[in-house]
Amino acid sequence: MQKNQVKPEKKNENAQQHHSAPKPETKENDKIAALEKEAAEMRDKFMRTYAEMENIKKRCQNEIEKNAKVAIADFALDLLPVADNLERALAQEIPDELKNNDFLKNLIAGVQMTQKQLYAALNKNGVTVIESVGKPFDPNTQKAIQQVFDDKLEDGTVIQEWQKGYLIGGDRILREAMVIVSKK
């Protein structure tokens, strides 16, 4: 019977330990719960801050791209008169007595190469020429400066281009074309 007596004492000791043990476990559980709550709050703050930083990063990147486009457009606008003048220089008639002049031939070849390089640089930066002659008048990309009567052409066909028009980025007008349009 000693065995039986010992066992209940152990059970009572265990029971007493269980009754006295919940107090420290409750304190630990409260600490754990408080730390978990604090960790959750910190994670939430971190995630909000991270999201805000990502949004700032995107806004800054968009602003940089926008400023670059504006800078390219402004610079391209400054170069368009140069392109116009090169075209005017090459459109000049050469008198018959100078057509075989080697110096003049080399000068013309140099101006043509300069014009070609200028157009390549403009194209590289998204600036393209608006094709106008022989096409219907488009008030979105062209400005009619004169109408000429012509029974052979459809009404509103561009007959001549007084000044080239340019697009930037394929869809935004950098400069309207100034054109002469047919009228029946």
pLDDT at residue 25, as a whole number: 78
Per-residue pLDDT of the chain (184 residues; tens, 9 = 90+): 455 554 545 444 444 444 554 566 788 889 999 999 999 999 999 999 999 999 999 999 999 999 988 899 999 999 999 999 999 999 999 999 988 999 999 999 999 999 999 999 999 999 999 999 999 999 999 999 999 998 888 899 999 999 999 999 888 999 999 999 999 8
Q: How many CB atoms lie within 10 A of CB 160?
A: 14
Residue ranges of domains in the chain, CATH in brackets: 128-184 (2.30.22.10)
pLDDT at residue 153, as a whole number: 86
pLDDT at residue 24, as a whole number: 63
Instruction: Show the tokens assigned to 55.
Output: 């949004």
The label of the residue with tokens 């220089």 reads 89
Picking from 44, 129, 47, the residue whose alpha carbon sits closest to that of residue 83 is 129
Ramachandran region of residue 170, left (φ > 0), alpha (ψ -120 to 50) or beta?
left
pLDDT at residue 46, as a whole number: 95
**How much is the pTM?**
0.67
pLDDT at residue 171, as a whole number: 87
pLDDT at residue 15, as a whole number: 47
Instruction: Show the tokens assigned to 105.
Output: 């031939």
Cβ neighbors of 97 (< 8 A, separation 6 or more) are none
